Structure 1
């Protein structure tokens, strides 16, 4: 157990670390040297930072720490493009981090909480309850570990779509984003980061005032309160129409496109009727001006149709968990759902889950470890 009096370097941005060094009697420029070792060279042990004197290394050890979580399990998908880490934090709570490689994109999906309060029926993250928020350093360290275990040794994109509701941990999330965005750390542009939220309206409003160009993905999963409320308890607090209106205001203020995530669950929210209702719900966000679709934006069946919009819908065939006994729709049903949205001018893509063979859907590996249930 690390001493609570030690300062975690990963909790501090460059200027904060310089100020802390100065406060403790160290030369401020040393902060840049330490950050170079951590973020550029992947060295997390002061004793290995060879451009610092031995005396200085020992002094740093007495004031600062660079704590790395224990890797409890590591699973690689059959195609080698997805890798999941199950990490144990210092207080023994478990979180998940997933690295996904796709062409020239190297994406890490990070957790923001240990557990989740929101208990979406289709998600394994909240099935074992909520324990606590992660600190900024516990968010940042996931990106470091994903970078280090990847063959490319680089990260191009970050998605806050792991365990927990990112906007429910707003302060530490924003702190981590600013650190990751800094040129002294990863230097990843805000537009290369995506926050996924179940729809916490006050925090969506707060995010719009931050003045950062981060991407926002909203978990919608239902075109009305009846459907959405049955699978997402958060809808009782923030109903569908209020959420969509908040998204309209977010777009108006930030000029950023919003992605609506929509998990397709057979017999729950995936009928043609619900596709038409979803189209009506998003009317006014989707643009009325239409244009021809490029070959890279065709339907999953290869056909062509016009699209346009200030939002897009990402359809995700349901990846079953044991606690929610449902199936994904058929391929033809997925295509038809997409076509209905596209015919109404809504840009729509279909995302088939990567890493199903390593339980890469959010919270699955952690849930298996906590319950011991791997049937």
Structure 2
């Protein structure tokens, strides 16, 4: 069942009180321009409106409860408590040139069980509501941070959560979060109906596909979703996405030593991405160093630098665009695949 967002509820309360249309903008400006986090402090509003807002929505604009914040070089990770006694995590990355990027969660846990991912060991607890997803960003915003760019690479598979499309509407709504479509990235393990809907409804939003092996049989072992949405079907859908949008698609690939980092894997990935038509130059590979945690298999290790460089040079020699991602936050389990949503301090 679709849940009503707090912003929709505010509009309904104002309608019920027969308030003029500009009232919603006053509240939005209080939250998003003045960074006011309590309804009672929005003194531009008559007291009766503030009382109604508090009655229906509580005193705080933010619906999540921050529990623990861990900070490392250029990284802040926040653990939030959500309804039902569960926890989720969000990560802020601060780049040296001043840019602030956010990695947010779309589900509590994840049901897809990719073997190298800490979040997958929890299983899926539940989908997050649009408010719970956007509140992760609102927390940072209310604490004075600029929201430069956002990626759905936290806990969960964004395109498996039906609330994600309402979330994207809220994030791009010029009255509230007002994020540019090109500053948002949705990452997926290959949920075909979701990719299709994203192409139609949000063609300018960045799309990242988690590949992790170009060999079907191995990918099915690492990522069971491959049995349901096989690699070649996903790539055909991505071709359609690129063709319809003219936008790049990013291919995420975690390098696991001795598992998927051989010359043969590099050759197979190049073969997969070549000869796909006039848009093949819009595929861009992001190689990601593997990040171990206490709950991921001990058999997985990070590839050594020479092997990474060899992998890169093979891809480049075949004309594939490739970047090795800089990793932040591995020391506080805040990097790719490490989010676990547990409250224990380590």
State how far apart, in whole Å, the 2-side matches of 1:367 and 1:250 are: 33
Q: CA deviation at 1:309?
A: 1.3
Determine the structure 2 residue equivalent to 1:70. Answer: 65
Residue among 282, 291, 297 paired with 1:324: 297
Determine the structure 2 residue equivalent to 1:335. Answer: 309
Determine the structure 2 residue equivalent to 1:189. Answer: 180
Aligned length: 339
Q: Are the aligned partners of 2:87 and 2:342 in contact in 1 as well (CA < 8 Å)?
A: no
Alignment of 1:192-207 (within 5 A): 192-207=183-198
Residue among 317, 334, 337 paired with 1:360: 334
State how far apart, in whole Å, the 1-side matches of 2:30 and 2:111 are: 37
**1:30 paired to 2:23:** yes
**1:125 paired to 2:140:** no
**1:168 paired to 2:157:** no
**1:273 paired to 2:276:** no
State how far apart, in whole Å, the 2-side matches of 1:178 and 1:187 are: 10
State how far apart, in whole Å, the 2-side matches of 1:181 and 1:243 are: 26
Q: CA deviation at 1:240?
A: 1.2
The superposition leaves residues 35-73 of structure 1 with CA deviations (integer Å, 9 ceiling, x where unpaired) of: 111122222211100111223211222233434322121
Residue among 207, 218, 233 paired with 2:224: 233
Q: CA deviation at 1:285?
A: 4.1
Residue among 227, 251, 271 paired with 1:260: 251
Q: Are the aligned partners of 1:96 and 1:363 in contact in 2 as well (CA < 8 Å)?
A: no
State how far apart, in whole Å, the 2-side matches of 1:50 and 1:185 are: 19
**TM-score (structure 2 length as normaliser):** 0.92
State how far apart, in whole Å, the 2-side matches of 1:59 and 1:147 are: 24
State how far apart, in whole Å, the 1-side matches of 2:322 and 2:4 are: 46
**TM-score (structure 1 length as normaliser):** 0.85
State how far apart, in whole Å, the 2-side matches of 1:226 and 1:204 are: 23
Structure 1 unaligned runs (5+)? 1-5, 289-307
Structure 2 unaligned runs (5+)? none
State how far apart, in whole Å, the 2-side matches of 1:361 and 1:321 are: 10
Decide whether aligned partners of structure 1 residues 373 and 284 sit closer, same or farther in structure 2, where only a CA change above 3 A counts: farther
Q: Are the aligned partners of 1:122 and 1:324 in contact in 2 as well (CA < 8 Å)?
A: yes
Q: Are the aligned partners of 1:338 and 1:348 in contact in 2 as well (CA < 8 Å)?
A: yes
Alignment of 1:95-174 (within 5 A): 95-102=88-95, 103-149=97-143, 153-170=145-162, 172-174=163-165
State how far apart, in whole Å, the 1-side matches of 2:92 and 2:345 are: 24
